[in-house]
Amino acid sequence: MYYTKVNQDNCIACGLCQIISPDLFDYTSEGIAFTKMDANAGNAPIPAERFEAFLAAYRKCPTGAILRSESPFPATEQ
């Protein structure tokens, strides 16, 4: 089981992850990516049927802004 979220400080709003994996990623009005399933909290597991698309986006993000973990990400104050 994997979890993901976007490190929005490193996202350059290139649009790639949403093109590759539109079920998992969406954008703010400024084009900064976030995970759709948990509003970028990183606490909802990636569905098995979307894992291949997730991996493709994860590998192609030009800045490494897409994070991956085998456990839920801790809650952050934002």
Query: Is the alpha carbon torsion for 29, 33, 36, 42 positive or negative?
Result: negative
Q: Which residue ranges make up the site for ligand SF4 (CB under 6 A)?
A: 6, 11-17, 33, 61-63, 65-66
Measured at the CA of 38, the angle between CA 33 and CA 42, to 5 degrees, comes to: 80
Give Cβ neighbours of residue 42 (< 8 Å, ≥ 6 apart): 3, 4, 5, 35, 67, 69, 72, 73
